[in-house]
A and B are shown apart, each in its own frame.
Chain A
Amino acid sequence: MQIMFNQEPVELTAPLSLQDFLSQHGIQAAGTACAVNEEIVPKSQWSDFMLAEGMKLDVFSLVAGG
């Protein structure tokens, strides 16, 4: 199964939740936002959200300066 992760193709060998994917890539939840197919996935749903073939995942830092 292939997904696009920050515009790069990534091969997944087993079904994976968004949270597990982030953990495998060493990405901390704090200060991070995720969007799948250009829709933000709220943090409380990361554990239940299963990645699927062809999904476009964007992971980016939230900025907070004013």
Chain B
Amino acid sequence: MELTARQELLPDWGPKITALLKNKRVGVAGLGGLGGVAAYLLAGAGVGQLRLADGDTVSMSNLHRQIMYRGSALGQSKALSLKESIEALQAGTELICVPEVLTFKLPAGAADAAPEQLSHESETARAFVCGLDLLLLLTDSVKSRVELGALALELKVNVLQLCVTGFVSQEAAFLYAQPEFTQQHGCSRCFWGPYIDEESSGQAELKVSEPGAQGILGPTAVQAAAAAALSALLLLTDRYPAERKGSLWIFDHLKQQGRLMKLRPDPHCPLCQQRVQ
């Protein structure tokens, strides 16, 4: 019995789709509540290659929502622990593991508050993103979302970004592989603005013991992670709903209701709008 047997019973998700997914390469940056569960589900769906990156280790306060990690993995690298969990699925997924935070030095003029970074770090990120069919940006900081979003833009790799805090999740697909996309909808830098915002607003996720850290229920995080995995499968099989393309999908997990806002380019964006001005 194949791992995808139940999935293949669905209309339009038969062996042809399994074969298509087998040829897809998906990067998952951030292996916490969103990325860890999403990567596991994508392996189960038959995605051929997964690249997994996170510099964090498993801690007790993760386990209520990061259900692919066990208590026995406390203190271990999330990337390496997730690799073990996915290997146990015996899905035949090729796994490339980067147990570190991916960083990318933004081009001059785009990094209002970017710290200087070593070029070899950027090279790790570049190798991670290069050749992907889809990059899932599921980290817990605006900085990494802006940086890796910029790299994906340069390499013309489609990005699915999803964030969750409290009872709200926000999803956006940046389809950089489509030539007209940034002219109509901009890029992740247009969306976030200069990431100096992060420092002033404390948007980076704080450790649970730090003042100002935000809470989340396990079911909320897992629902958002499953939504990310489903959206990834829809993007990989070219079935992502048309109205969601170029939009921010804001989902209220308490009301179980969502709404859409169209993404628009920042005409002054140094990353995606310079050439068209």
A interface residues with partner B (beta carbon < 8 Å): 28-31, 33, 35, 38-45, 58, 60-66
CB-contact partner of B264 in A29, A30, A41, under 8 A: A41
Q: With the chains together, A8 CA to B174 CA distance in Å?
A: 31
B212 within 8 A of A: no
CB <8 Å contact, A38 and B33:
no
B interface residues with partner A (beta carbon < 8 Å): 30, 32-35, 138-142, 145, 162-166, 168-170, 186, 190-193, 197-198, 200-205, 214, 216, 248, 250, 259-269
Residues in chain B near residue A66, CB distance under 8 A: 30, 32-35, 138-141, 162-164, 205
Residues in chain A near residue B166, CB distance under 8 A: 63
CB <8 Å contact, B197 and A65:
no
* Majority-rule SS of A interface residues: loop
Q: With the chains together, A43 CA to B266 CA distance in Å?
A: 8
Q: With the chains together, A30 CA to B2 CA distance in Å?
A: 49
CB <8 Å contact, B168 and A30:
no
Most buried by B among A40, A41, A43, A45: A40
Residues in chain B near residue A38, CB distance under 8 A: 259-262
Q: Give the distance to chain B from A18, nearest Cβ to Cβ, in Å.
A: 13
CB <8 Å contact, B264 and A65:
no
CB-contact partner of B201 in A30, A41, A43, under 8 A: A30
Q: Give the distance to chain B from A28, nearest Cβ to Cβ, in Å.
A: 7
Residues in chain B near residue A35, CB distance under 8 A: 261-262
Residues in chain A near residue B138, CB distance under 8 A: 66
Q: Give the distance to chain B from A25, nearest Cβ to Cβ, in Å.
A: 17
Q: A58: nearest residue on chain B (CB-CB)?
A: B261
Can you list 24 contacts pairing A with B, beta carbon distance less than 8 Å? Answer: A30-B197, A30-B203, A31-B197, A33-B248, A38-B261, A39-B262, A40-B262, A42-B193, A42-B264, A42-B265, A42-B266, A43-B266, A61-B168, A63-B164, A64-B141, A64-B204, A65-B163, A65-B216, A66-B34, A66-B139, A66-B162, A66-B163, A66-B164, A66-B205
Residues in chain A near residue B163, CB distance under 8 A: 62-66
Residues in chain A near residue B265, CB distance under 8 A: 42
Q: Give the distance to chain A from B270, nearest Cβ to Cβ, in Å.
A: 11
Q: With the chains together, A33 CA to B250 CA distance in Å?
A: 12
Q: A61: nearest residue on chain B (CB-CB)?
A: B168
Residues in chain B near residue A60, CB distance under 8 A: 250
What would 9 more interface pairs be, CB under 8 Å, given A65-B163, A66-B205? A28-B201, A31-B201, A33-B248, A39-B261, A40-B263, A43-B266, A62-B163, A63-B169, A66-B34
